[in-house]
Amino acid sequence: METLWEMWWEMVLMEVSVSADALQDALGLRLVGPFDILAGKHKRSESSQPNFHLHWRHFYDPPELQTVLQGGADTQHHLGYYRDCPDALPVFIGENHARKGCTIAQLGDNLFSAVLLCVARQKRERGGKRDGAAVERLEAELKKEAELLGLSLEQKTKAMKQRDRKVVTKTFHGAGIVVPVDKNDVGYRELPESDADLKKICGAIAEAEDDESRRKAFAPVQELMTFVQFANDECDYGMGYEFGIDLFCYGSHYFHKVIGQLLPMAYSLLKREVFGEILQAHLANRSHDNLDQLMGK
């Protein structure tokens, strides 16, 4: 697990040792998010009121994910820091293709491992063909700096495996959520619907032919909301958290009102209020477009 100083230094070294052109040429990636702040881009923003909660926040990004590397526009490939709590250090680097869906893959616990894993994947996809000079140079530079920092280049580090044991449920995005659970198993209870059944319920609502059909299809959701209320009363805050994340990951605007009730409450009960603020800002401006908050509209 990195300290805050190590994370900051890692970002600085990434910025200094690997130019934006190197990442772009080799992998089609560019440094964004906190790197924009390091580069002072916010001081010369074209937008008069940038919302930093939404800066490079993609359609399926939960509040826990903060984009730091942006890829191609065709799939909206991006990588970011994933935190279980807003005031904690990242637990892994998450990867998502927003044009494809909500799945978040785990690429190690630092930026160097994540980028090197992208390099390795590109090599596999090339089927053994010789990589260009840009890729080879990038790989060598990153391995050198990672060794100097003493960073692990494993896709699943020891700390990540320890986190896996704390994950109460994977959720639709697959990266899992963590909530405090005491010795009496108070903190989380399972939803009474399987993921497959919940997706069917969501599909019936999103694909309903008319408002009346959609209203009737919402009945199971209302019942689940009642279960969440009971769970919250008994301090099993993880149920509402899971349900809200699953509805968010499904991606239909028909669930935004329910998500706006579930997740801010869950984050408040879990003392993760900043995530609630991010979520509410995102629901009000959820889009695949205009992700760079520093650009003028």
- Active-site residues, by number, are 234
User: Residues 96, 109, 238, CA angle at the centre, nearest 5°?
Assistant: 70
User: Interior CA angle at 119 toward 118 and 120, to 5°?
Assistant: 90
Which residues in 2-24 are b (16+ Cβ under 10 Å) and which e? beeeebeebbebbeeebeeebbe
**In the structure encoding, which two tokens stand for residue 176, read together?**
């899992």
- Element (DSSP H or E) covering residue 95: strand 92-97
Output the six-digit token pair for 238. Answer: 């993880």
Exposure string of 216-245, with b = 16+ CB inside 10 Å and e = fewer, is ebbebbeebeebbeebbeeebbbbbbbbbb
